[in-house]
């Protein structure tokens, strides 16, 4: 991913650190240790400084992963620790895989022996399973995904007679998630915050939710960390055990750690104190899900005697790209500060383009890509990075019509698909009948006549006797409580589960899985479905079974599904990559397109509203991440019109555009498909955005009388162009290409607020309308 091309000129220009003797030792080490070949001084230092706390500030494209893996290789090959004595934590499975591969290439067989290389969550599961009893769980506890936990919360909200409309389960979910990220158990939730849901019942709901999880022998994502922390805090002996086990600790993407993870790391690091955190405060983009940039900013205080090593030599991008990114990020105040530099050439400038709307943006980028394609540019080396996933659609539409192959990264994940979840629910229940949430999911899928009414009865019975739904079902089919029809089909279902369970030990698991899907009627359900997606769903199910074959048994497979699985079907071939800026972190491409740089979208309005300046800075870091993904070319664009929630708006260009240094950016004109019309309008626009000053962007409320006599309130973001630049007058009737006829409500600079006869009120640039 972030491999710097192995440069033949081994010793780098990086300012040397340490005493002369240290430097001399390092130099000798470089010739003695072949794996240090090609590392620059700072990188070498980061690899060799194995003892004590170390913070490696690794800027974008500075060979972070390489340092991390080489460091592990170094520790292993020097016999400083055995593979199972190194704790290496990452955030994503992708990163874990990457690291495993790299270490494998370096050391060979050692990878098998690195059981403690994984994501925070995966390691959490591992530790929790070992000591489940201490956490009040059975070691076969299930891990709830978002779906399950949401369903559970919904049940609780209903049970409390709280209005679902006013207090949506989603909100409770994110609230509890936030608490868990901060390491707060129900009793520790500050009272003030507890009131932020359902008039003060938030805290109780949280407690009830946790209680219910225990009853179900289940944990959710947040618990994996929270419970692990509790385990260690309540059992100091156990913690000591792990202290002596983990000789070296490595943490990737430290800037993304949340408080719970931070607490955990501090607990674990109390052992040897050999903790090495790698991160980049300029790439902290997960604040919204609880990540604390502060963790990395505070590192030196938290770990006294910590050594900070900066990696600033960039091996990825050209000079222009690096300069633009650096300049953008200097607008942030809260940063440790790094100066990236490169020895490579300036390369090509970034390009900037203004387009009419998202469709034209997609058309334009599509054309650019086709042009690149004829120049033999690999599609795999092209990426479109968007702020929000809804932007992807325009590109997908366009690429489909062009016949341009693409892949969406980080879209709906494989295991999140309906059919995969359903299938897994069947497998789950077969393995563990007391998994109520999964049982509930499939009890009436496919339709068996076991809907709300029957489920209600089951719930009551289960609650009353405090048994699982499945057990309740078993008891109820023996009684007269259910009507004959549902009773019959319920019995049939239970019998099938009995059969399947009988075969778990004897039958090969893939065969059993197939049988479950067939016998249950699930396969048939999709075969009979004539919707266009039904076929892909069936194929996905086949893929699931195929993937399952790579595991030893059903249980082993299911463990992976909840945490690890992200097999992507169309990852092969030469394709353009489409993804969000978030998903792009850690990746690199020759050419990167950055569409949609508009106020409100990027920076996103919500970040601005909810997080204020901190939010803005995080958005800016997102922009920094985006630009630094590019190795050779970066193309930024923005549109003048975009639909938001179904209606059209005319956003201003993103303030980030004006934070780019003009000397590194080329302003491109759109190839004019419409004769001179486009370019003349464009001139107008480019003047407008380069002069706009955003430091105190006014948002003015305008109140005007519409012709119909009603008061219309609209929010007009005024541009700073001085004086009216148009000759239009309020009340004038005009025509607009897209919106049709309308009359002018107000004029702000060259922006018109118009009441359209058919499409409502819009703000439009004067150059887009004509008199009528």
Partner DNA sequence: TTGTTACTATTTTTT
Partner DNA sequence: ATAGTAACAA
Catalytic residues: 64-65, 252-253, 283, 629
DSSP category for residue 736: E
- The answer to whether 608 and 272 are in contact (CB under 8 A) is no
Of 267, 388, 507, 555, the residue at the interface with DNA (CB under 7 A) is 388
Of 449, 549, 707, 740, the residue at the interface with DNA (CB under 7 A) is 449
Binding piece for DNA, criterion CB under 7 A, among 54-62, 443-451, 465-473, 691-699: 443-451
- The answer to whether 45 and 297 are in contact (CB under 8 A) is no
Closest to DNA by CB, 241 vs 444, is 444
Closest to DNA by CB, 36 vs 601, is 601
- The answer to whether 85 and 245 are in contact (CB under 8 A) is yes
Q: What is the dihedral of CA 578, 580, 584, 590, to 10 degrees?
A: 40
Q: How far apart are CA 449 and CA 464, in angstroms?
A: 24
Of 6, 346, 400, 453, the residue at the interface with DNA (CB under 7 A) is 453
What is the end-to-end Cα distance of the chain in Å, rounded?
Answer: 57
Closest to DNA by CB, 438 vs 582, is 582
For residue 100, the minimal CB distance to DNA (Å) is 15
Residue closest to 413 by CA, chosen among 711, 29, 634, 94:
94
- Could you say whether residue 610 binds DNA (CB under 7 A)? yes
- Could you say whether residue 164 binds DNA (CB under 7 A)? yes
Binding piece for DNA, criterion CB under 7 A, among 32-40, 444-452, 501-509, 697-705: 444-452
Residues 6+ apart with CB under 8 A from 656: 328, 597, 602, 603, 619, 620, 623
For residue 573, the minimal CB distance to DNA (Å) is 22
**Interface map 477-516 toward DNA (x if CB under 7 A):** ---------x------------------------------
For residue 81, the minimal CB distance to DNA (Å) is 25
Q: How far apart are CA 129 and CA 641, in angstroms?
A: 53
- Could you say whether residue 444 binds DNA (CB under 7 A)? yes
Question: Scanning residues 43 to 62, which ones bind DNA (CB under 7 A)?
Answer: none
Closest to DNA by CB, 447 vs 546, is 447
For residue 121, the minimal CB distance to DNA (Å) is 6
Closest to DNA by CB, 322 vs 581, is 581
- Could you say whether residue 146 binds DNA (CB under 7 A)? yes
**Interface map 195-214 toward DNA (x if CB under 7 A):** --------------------
Binding piece for DNA, criterion CB under 7 A, among 358-366, 524-532, 575-583, 682-690: 575-583
Binding piece for DNA, criterion CB under 7 A, among 9-17, 34-42, 85-93, 296-304: 85-93
Judged by DSSP in three states, 249 sits in: strand
For residue 125, the minimal CB distance to DNA (Å) is 12
The residue written with tokens 């209005």 in the block is 163
Q: How far apart are CA 680 and CA 764, in angstroms?
A: 16
Closest to DNA by CB, 315 vs 395, is 395
- The answer to whether 300 and 336 are in contact (CB under 8 A) is no
Of 72, 583, 625, 764, the residue at the interface with DNA (CB under 7 A) is 583
Residue closest to 7 by CA, chosen among 310, 315, 321:
315
Q: How far apart are CA 419 and CA 529, in angstroms?
A: 13
Residues 6+ apart with CB under 8 A from 94: 566, 586
- Could you say whether residue 121 binds DNA (CB under 7 A)? yes
Closest to DNA by CB, 130 vs 170, is 170
Of 17, 50, 77, 93, the residue at the interface with DNA (CB under 7 A) is 93
Question: Bridge-partner residues for 258, per DSSP?
Answer: 291
Closest to DNA by CB, 121 vs 398, is 121
Instruction: Write b or e for each residue in 97-123: b if 16 or more Cβ atoms lie within 10 A of its Cβ, otherwise e.
Output: ebbbebbeebbeebbeebebbbbbbbb
Closest to DNA by CB, 107 vs 578, is 578
Closest to DNA by CB, 138 vs 170, is 170
Question: Scanning residues 277 to 316, which ones bind DNA (CB under 7 A)?
Answer: 288-289
Give the tokens for residue 236: 């100091």
For residue 726, give Cα distances in angstroms to 697, 699, 733, 740: 22, 21, 14, 19
Judged by DSSP in three states, 343 sits in: coil
- Could you say whether residue 641 binds DNA (CB under 7 A)? no
- Could you say whether residue 604 binds DNA (CB under 7 A)? yes
Binding piece for DNA, criterion CB under 7 A, among 22-30, 119-127, 428-436, 534-542: 119-127
Judged by DSSP in three states, 499 sits in: helix
What is the total count of residues that contact DNA (CB under 7 A)? 40
Binding piece for DNA, criterion CB under 7 A, among 78-86, 162-170, 271-279, 633-641: 162-170
Q: How many residues make up the chain in this entry?
A: 772
Q: What is the dihedral of CA 317, 318, 321, 326, to 10 degrees?
A: 70
Q: How far apart are CA 387 and CA 626, in angstroms?
A: 10
- The answer to whether 577 and 383 are in contact (CB under 8 A) is yes
The residue written with tokens 């549902």 in the block is 486
Q: Is 673 exposed, middle or buried (0-12, 13-18, 19+ CB in 10 A)?
A: exposed
Of 21, 333, 452, 699, the residue at the interface with DNA (CB under 7 A) is 452
Q: Which residues bind DNA (CB under 7 A)?
A: 91-93, 119-121, 146, 164-165, 168, 170, 177, 221, 288-289, 387-390, 410, 413, 444, 447-454, 486, 580, 582-583, 604, 606-607, 610, 645-646
């Amino acid at each position: 991913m972030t491999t710097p091309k192995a440069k033949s000129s081994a010793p780098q220009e990086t300012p040397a650190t340490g005493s002369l003797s240290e430097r001399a030792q390092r130099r000798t080490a470089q010739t003695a240790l072949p794996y240090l070949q090609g590392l620059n001084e700072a990188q070498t230092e980061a690899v060799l400084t194995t003892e004590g706390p170390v913070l490696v500030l690794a800027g974008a494209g500075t060979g972070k992963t390489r340092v991390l893996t080489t460091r592990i290789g170094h520790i292993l090959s020097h016999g400083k620790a055995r593979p199972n004595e190194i704790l290496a934590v990452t955030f994503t499975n992708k990163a874990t895989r990457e690291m495993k591969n790299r270490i494998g290439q370096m050391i060979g067989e050692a990878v098998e022996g690195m059981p403690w290389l994984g994501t925070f969550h995966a390691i959490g599961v591992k530790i929790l399973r070992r000591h489940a009893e201490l956490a009040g769980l059975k070691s076969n506890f299930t891990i709830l995904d978002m779906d399950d936990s949401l369903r559970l919360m919904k049940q609780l909200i209903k049970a409390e007679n709280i209005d679902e409309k006013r207090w949506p389960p989603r909100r409770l979910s994110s609230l509890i998630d936030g608490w868990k990220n901060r390491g707060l158990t129900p009793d520790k939730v500050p009272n003030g915050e507890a009131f932020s849901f359902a008039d003060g019942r938030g805290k109780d709901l949280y407690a009830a939710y946790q209680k219910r999880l225990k009853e179900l022998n289940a944990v959710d994502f947040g618990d994996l960390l929270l419970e692990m922390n509790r385990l260690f805090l309540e059992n100091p002996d156990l913690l000591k055990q792990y202290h002596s086990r983990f000789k070296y600790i490595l943490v990737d993407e430290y800037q993304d750690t949340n408080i719970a993870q931070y607490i955990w790391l501090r607990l674990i690091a109390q052992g040897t104190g050999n903790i090495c955190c790698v991160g980049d405060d300029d790439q902290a983009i997960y604040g919204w899900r609880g990540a604390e940039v502060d963790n990395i900013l505070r590192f030196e205080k938290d770990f006294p005697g910590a050594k900070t090593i900066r990696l600033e030599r960039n091996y990825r991008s050209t000079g222009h790209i690096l300069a633009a990114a650096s300049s953008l990020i200097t607008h942030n105040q809260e940063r440790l500060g790094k100066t990236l530099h490169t020895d490579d050439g300036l390369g090509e400038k970034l390009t900037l383009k203004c387009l009419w709307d998202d469709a034209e943006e997609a058309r334009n980028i599509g054309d650019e890509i086709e042009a690149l394609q004829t120049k033999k540019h690999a599609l795999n080396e092209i990426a479109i990075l968007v702020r929000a996933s809804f932007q992807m659609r325009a590109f997908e539409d366009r690429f489909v019509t062009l016949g341009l192959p693409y892949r969406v990264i980080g879209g709906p994940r494989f295991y999140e698909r309906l059919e995969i979840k359903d299938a897994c629910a069947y497998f789950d229940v077969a393995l563990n009948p007391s998994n109520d949430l999964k049982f509930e999911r499939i009890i009436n899928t496919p339709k068996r006549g076991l809907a709300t009414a029957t489920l209600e009865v089951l719930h009551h019975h289960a609650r009353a006797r405090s048994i699982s739904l499945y057990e309740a079902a078993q008891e109820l089919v023996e009684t007269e409580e259910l009507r004959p029809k549902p009773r019959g089909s319920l019995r049939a279902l239970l019998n099938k589960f009995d059969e399947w369970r009988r075969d778990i030990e004897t039958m090969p698991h893939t065969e059993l899985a197939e049988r479950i899907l067939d016998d249950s009627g699930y396969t048939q359900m999709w075969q009979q479905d004539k919707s266009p997606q039904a076929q892909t769903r069936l194929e996905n199910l086949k893929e699931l079974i195929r993937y399952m074959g790579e595991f030893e048994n059903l249980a082993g497979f299911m463990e992976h599904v909840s945490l690890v699985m992200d097999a992507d079907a169309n990852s092969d071939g030469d394709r353009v990559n489409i993804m969000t800026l978030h998903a792009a972190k850690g990746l690199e491409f020759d050419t990167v397109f950055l569409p949609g740089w508009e106020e409100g979208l990027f920076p996103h309005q919500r970040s601005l509203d909810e997080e204020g300046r901190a939010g803005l800075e995080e958005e800016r870091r997102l922009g920094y991440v985006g630009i630094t993904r590019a190795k050779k070319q970066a193309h930024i664009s923005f549109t003048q019109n975009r639909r938001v929630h179904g209606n059209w708006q005319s956003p201003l260009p993103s303030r980030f555009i004006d934070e780019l240094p003009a000397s590194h950016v080329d302003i491109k004109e759109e190839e004019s498909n419409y004769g001179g019309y486009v370019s003349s309008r464009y001139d107008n626009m480019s003047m407008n955005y380069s002069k706009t000053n955003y430091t105190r962007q006014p948002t003015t409320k305008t109140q005007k009388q519409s012709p119909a006599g009603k008061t219309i309130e609209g929010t007009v973001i005024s541009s700073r162009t001085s004086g009216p630049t148009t000759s239009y007058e309020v009340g004038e009737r005009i025509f607009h290409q897209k919106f049709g006829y309308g009359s002018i409500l107000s004029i702000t600079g060259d922006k018109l607020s118009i009441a359209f006869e058919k499409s409502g009120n819009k703000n439009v640039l004067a150059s887009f309308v004509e008199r009528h």
